Amino acid sequence: MTAALMLAAYALLMATGGSWLLSRSRWPHRSPRLAVATWQAASFSVPWAIGLAGVVLLLPQSPVSAAVARIAHACAPALDAVYRVPGGTLAGMLVGALLLGAVVRAVLLLAHDLWMAMGDRARQRQMLALVSRVDPTLDALVVDHEAVAAYCVPGRGGRVVFTTAALAALGDKERLAVLAHEQAHLRQRHHLVLAAARALRRAFPRLPLMRTAEMEIAVLVEMVADDVSVRRSDVRSVASALRVLSSSVAAPGRTEVHPSAVHASALVRRLRRLVTPARPLTAVVLAARSLVVAAALTLPLVLAAAPATATLQSEVCPVPARAPATETDVSMG
Amino acid sequence: MKQFGELEAVIMDLLWSRGGSATVRDVLDELQRGRTIAYTTVMTVMDNLHRKGFLAREKDGRAWRYETVQSREQYAADLMVEVLEASRDRTGTLVHFLDAMSGPELRRLRGALTDGPDDAPQP
């Protein structure tokens, strides 16, 4: 019971305080890769803690606890006792099932999104096979079209695609910069990062943390790809490619694009850090922040398992006749 | 399967450049100028293209006569509509260099973009 409460408190703390701290922090543009991991840890830790709270609540009522006790050479009744919910097992089971259900729903949403995206991409690849040609100088596909666009189709055999209008707008060095940027997306599987953030936002629509995480992660993976592109070309080419494409990228007549400040400010943020680059975080700070990320994800597990580990130390088992654990077993376990 | 994919593109190209309909025999005759290829292979690929909705067909005597459903330009246009919609919804299906923006957004941006285009530091 205490474990479940602590896990719930942890989820709440992450969803409010963690989100608040992260969105106020000034360092993410200096190390976008770590910032992506941090936003991911903050947003994953919420369903992770909620799910573990569900497990902890369901544990005393399930055959799982007996199995866990057998494997760990622990005392089953003692294990049940520490996780017991005062005020009735039914209430505990109900809340536990609800919590676990919310997490299962998030996983299903992600699976659904990934499945749909796979179908969409298969159709994209089929159409591209028919209407695009391979650019001999650039490792990319080219589609004849007057809309300016550069993008990649992730997945097996991922390809980078330019429209003829995009190629016409860009110089040689800028083309290579865009190519390197898109190849970074492909290599680092950013589409999966984006899909996970989107699924979490849809699974927990009331949590501002998930909305902010999705938006921030979308900008940060662009910054990660920009950095790769800068290393393979140069700052000038990446920045000017961004300027050239942004001044001509517009939705064609048939697609209505909703105005949102998000995309625009994302572009400004990307440009700003290219034009006036900040020092990357030092190795020490990087290591320290990585530890925080790891801690955010391990703490829920510690909270959930703490009562159980306490029972492993006790050598007395309330039901001696049926206890599987002898003293030698305990010392071995 | 990979060769089939390539052959699909070659056959679509051929039909588009002919600008009309063709039987498997017509396509085979054209293809055999450049390579050796079996009738059944061409038939299978054209049947696949029909099944996928890229070719329409009607009986012409004992053979099927195939015709493209849309022009290459129309397919490219359809493709780009999907691409730009994916950009707006950010589904993670495709990853863009830059998200699609509306006119007002671009106007808002103009100031930010013209600010110091040349103060990019030398690498």
Spell out the domain ranges in chain A. 2-332
What residues of chain B lie within 8 A of the CB of A154, using their CB?
Answer: 94-95
Cβ of A181 and B81 within 8 Å? no
CA distances from A66 to A51, A77, A275, A330, B46 (A): 20, 8, 61, 16, 61
Beta carbons within 10 angstroms of residue B39's beta carbon: 12
Residues B113, A240 contacting (CB under 8 angstroms): no
CA distances from A82 to A3, A8, A73, A226, A282 (A): 9, 17, 16, 51, 44
Q: Which residue of B has its CA nearest to A265?
A: B109
Distance from the Cα of B53 to chain A's closest Cα (Å) equals 11
Q: Tokens at residue A24, please?
A: 């106020």
**Alpha-carbon span A87 to A64, nearest angstrom:** 21
> In order of start, what are the domains of chain B with their CATH numbers?
2-68 (1.10.10.10), 72-114 (no CATH)
CA triple B104-B106-B108, angle to 5 deg: 70
HEC string of A62-85 equals CHHHHHHHHHHCCCHHHHHHHHCC
Cβ of B86 and A266 within 8 Å? no
**Alpha-carbon span A198 to B100, nearest angstrom:** 18
**Alpha-carbon span A267 to A310, nearest angstrom:** 52
Confidence class of residue A238 from pLDDT cuts 50, 70 and 90? very high
Cβ of B52 and A240 within 8 Å? no
Residue A228, classed as helix, strand or coil, is helix
Answer whether residue A163 shows pLDDT above 60: yes
Answer whether residue A177 shows pLDDT above 70: yes
Residue in A37, A26, A32 with CA at minimum distance from that of residue A229: A32
What residues of chain A lie within 8 A of the CB of B116, using their CB?
Answer: 275
DSSP state of A280: P
Contact residues for A263 (Cβ-Cβ < 8 A; gap 6+):
B99, B100, B101, B105
Residue A313, classed as helix, strand or coil, is helix
Confidence class of residue A12 from pLDDT cuts 50, 70 and 90? very high
Nearest to B108 among A230, A241, A264 (CB): A264
**Alpha-carbon span A81 to A318, nearest angstrom:** 10
Name the more confident of A77 and B14: B14
Q: Which residue of B has its CA nearest to A245?
A: B98
Residue in A162, A222, A142 with CA at minimum distance from that of residue A190: A222
Rg, C-alpha atoms of chain B: 22
Query: Which residue reads 């695009």 in tokens?
Result: A132
Q: Tokens at residue A194, please?
A: 């984006």
Q: Which residue of B has its CA nearest to A192?
A: B92
Beta carbons within 10 angstroms of residue A177's beta carbon: 27
Mean pLDDT computed over B33-41: 89
Contact residues for A298 (Cβ-Cβ < 8 A; gap 6+):
none
What pLDDT, in 10s, does the model give residues A77-132?
777 777 877 666 788 888 889 999 999 999 999 999 999 989 888 888 888 988 89
Which range is most confident: A60-64, A206-210, A312-316, B30-34?
Answer: A206-210
Name the more confident of B93 and A2: A2
Confidence class of residue B21 from pLDDT cuts 50, 70 and 90? confident
What residues of chain B lie within 8 A of the CB of A182, using their CB?
Answer: 95, 97
Answer whether residue B106 shows pLDDT above 60: no
Residues B24, B64 contacting (CB under 8 angstroms): yes
What pLDDT, in 10s, does the model give residues A14-37?
999 988 999 899 899 999 999 999
Residues A115, A199 contacting (CB under 8 angstroms): no
**Alpha-carbon span B48 to B8, nearest angstrom:** 9
CA triple A272-A276-A281, angle to 5 deg: 100
Cβ of B87 and A144 within 8 Å? no
